[in-house]
Structures are given as structure tokens and as C-alpha cells.
Amino acid sequence: MDNQRCGSFEYSTPLVYLGLKLISKLFHKKYQIAVTLVIGGVLLALWKPFVLIEGLQVAGLYAAIALPMALILGIVGIINLAHGDFMMLGAYLAYRFTVYTGADPLVAIFPVSLGLFLIGMATYRGTIKYMHGAPELIQLLLTFGIAIILQQLANLLWTSHPVSIHVGYASASATIGSFTFGTYGFVYVAAAILVFIGLFLFLRRTRIGQAALATGQNPIGAKLVGINIDRIYLLIFSISIALVGAMSVLFLTRHSIFPHVGGIFTLKSFCLAAMAGLGNLTGILWASLILGLAESFVKSFMGYAGWADIIFFLLIIVVIMVGSYRRRVT
């Protein structure tokens, strides 16, 4: 861990402010965020490289989990408060699979994804299907109930004692100069990019994907042109849960799991989806970068590690407030 104590905190704040002002003057709005991130990234690399690495990796994890939620939000139009808990379920299934077969945990990606695809289907057919016309309140409460069921089921079946798996390659590391860092975490970045590209191609280039996009934008219109929107909803929901399942396996390889581990990911995914704006998949990548780096950054100040959790809660609130303020003023 980086033990650098940052005494220059007080000086850096006005500098950061001036820097941001400069960027907003020099660059067109679209590029401001990107430029800020790039410059910020470079500065971080020089000052606290560990923060940059860890931030990137954790950003990848967040993005890979948030993208499927954005998919459900954008196309099926439902807020899935049980999102992170499906991930928890997948992680437990992967764990049991690994323990039972003795195979390398990554092998579990296939059965777990399939399993979660089916579970997603069952969940949709059994409950979510009926929620389309219902008031938002009811949707929230329903998925909240599902989340609780998943958590408690896990508690019942596997107790609340955390479990984990140790794989040798998870501690792989590389060294640049005098700086050593873990490399396995980049798996998450790779996963995020893969999921993103996969979804992008699926939605733009395949017929089903395009039908899904159409359904998301205008369900009635889609129905009129003959798209079976019920089938689309079922498919998209199940795919999303399956993706979450795949990610859960990766998650298992590096984290210990317990029944409530998923809740925070639901919140973070929602935060990212809100930041990015509805239907904006690219935005999620940027947003997770910001979130991941911010969290990592705060964690690096020794005394403040406990506060790192708040970062993202505050971020959620700020994002939602800013978004609603913009909507109010128009």
C-alpha cells in the first residue's frame, strides 16, 4: 500500500480548481470529462501510481457489473434492485461448483452463466413480467423483495460466514522499475471491455439486438411492427443476469463472498447508470472510471480508509441531484 502521506493536500485543492477552469476554457464540453480524466490519470500515475492501477481495476469490475443493469434499465425499463444479489448468487454457485468438482474456478463461468440465465428467465416469467404497467413504487418494492429473498436464501443455505477461494494466479504481479503491482485485476478491465463491445455489437449488428433497441425506445411501436416484445424482455433480462453470473465467477476469484455482498453492487451499478444517463453504455465506462479512481484515491489516505465507502454514496446523491436540477430548470 502506498504509505505516502500527502501533506500538500491543502495546496493541491486550489491548483485542481484552477486546472479544471483551464480545461473548461480550452476544450469543448464533450471532451472536457475525457481530458480531465486523462490528465488526472497521468498525474496520478506519477504521484500515486498504485491508486491509478487499483482504481482502473476496480472501475473495470464496477463497469462490467453495471452494464447489464443498464441493459435492463434501458430496454426492459425496470429497475432491478436485486441486481447485485444475482451476482452474489452466481458467486456462491461458482464456489459450490469449484468445491464440488475441484476444477479451476474460471471453468465455472460456463455452468454459472447458464444457470443464471435460466434463473433470470424464471424470475422474469414469475414476477417481473407483471410489473410493466405498474407504478414505479411497486416495481421498486418487488425487486427489493426479490433481493431480500436471494440474500436470505443464501443465508439459509450457506450461512453468513464469508467464504473465499484462493487461486495462485490471482496474486500475479508485475514490476515496472521499483514499482510492483497486481496484474490479475486487469481481468476486470478486460471483462468490462469485452462486455461492452459484445453488447454494442449485439445491439447494433444483430437483428435481435436491433429489435431490443427498438423495444426499449418505443415498446408500442415495436409491437406494431411485429416485434414480440415479451420475448425480447425475457431474453434481455435473462442475458443480463447471465452476464452478471459470468462476472460473479471473476469476482469470486479475488474476493470473499457473503450473503450481503451483492447489495452494494446494486447501489453502485445504479449510481453508474444514473450518472451515465439512460441508455448510454459508453457513459457507464467513463462513470465507473471516475468512481473507481475516486474510491481508490480516498482509500490511499491512510487515515481516511474507512471513509472510502462514503465516496460513492455521496457521488450517488450528487449525481442524482445534479440530474434532477437540470431537469427542473428546463
Partner 1 sequence: MKNWRYIIYTFITAIAILFPFYTGTYLQHTASTILIYLSLALSWDMLLRAGQISFGIAGFFGIGGYAAALTHLRWGIDPFLSIILGGLAAFFIAFLLGLVVLHLRGLYFAIVTLAIAEIFRVIVRNLHSLTGGPEGSVLPSAIFNGDPSKVYWLVLTLAIITIIVSEVFQRTRIHFATTTIRNDELVAKSSGINIFKYLVFIFAITSALQGMIGASYTHQYAFVTPEETFHIHFTLLPIAMCLLGGMYTTIGPVVGALVLGTIADYLKLQLPYGHLLVYGIVIVVVILFVPKGIVGTIKEQLERRK
- Which one of 175, 306, 329, 330 is in contact with partner 1 (CB under 8 A)? 306
The angle subtended at Cα 43 by Cα 196 and Cα 282, nearest 5°, is 15
The residues, ordered by sequence, that sit 6+ positions from 254 with a Cβ below 8 Å of its Cβ are 170, 184, 185
Quote the CA–CA distance of 97 and 92 in Å, as a whole number.
8
- Which one of 325, 326, 329, 330 is in contact with partner 1 (CB under 8 A)? 325
The nearer residue to partner 1, 59 or 78, going by C-beta atoms, is 78
Quote the CA–CA distance of 289 and 97 in Å, as a whole number.
32
The nearer residue to partner 1, 29 or 326, going by C-beta atoms, is 326
Q: Does 133 bind partner 1 (CB under 8 A)?
A: no
Quote the CA–CA distance of 95 and 327 in Å, as a whole number.
45
Q: Does 163 bind partner 1 (CB under 8 A)?
A: no
Q: Are 316 and 267 in contact (CB under 8 A)?
A: yes
Q: Does 162 bind partner 1 (CB under 8 A)?
A: no
Q: Are strands 173-176 and 179-182 parallel, antiparallel or unpaired?
A: antiparallel
Q: What's the closest the beta carbon of residue 311 comes to partner 1, in angstroms?
A: 10
Q: What's the closest the beta carbon of residue 307 comes to partner 1, in angstroms?
A: 6
Quote the CA–CA distance of 189 and 235 in Å, as a whole number.
26
Quote the CA–CA distance of 161 and 191 in Å, as a whole number.
28
Q: What's the closest the beta carbon of residue 45 comes to partner 1, in angstroms?
A: 29
Q: What's the closest the beta carbon of residue 161 comes to partner 1, in angstroms?
A: 11
Quote the CA–CA distance of 301 and 268 in Å, as a whole number.
22
Quote the CA–CA distance of 195 and 132 in Å, as a whole number.
26
- Which one of 31, 103, 122, 136 is in contact with partner 1 (CB under 8 A)? 136
Q: Does 328 bind partner 1 (CB under 8 A)?
A: yes
Q: Which listed range, 3-11, 129-137, 212-220, 230-238, lies at the site for partner 1 (CB under 8 A)?
A: 129-137
The nearer residue to partner 1, 188 or 265, going by C-beta atoms, is 265
Q: Are 240 and 120 in contact (CB under 8 A)?
A: yes
Site residues for partner 1, 167-196, by CB under 8 A, read: none
Q: Site residues (CB under 8 A) for partner 1? A: 79, 127, 130, 136-138, 140-142, 144-153, 155-157, 159-160, 267, 270, 274, 306-307, 309-310, 313-314, 316-317, 320-321, 323-325, 328
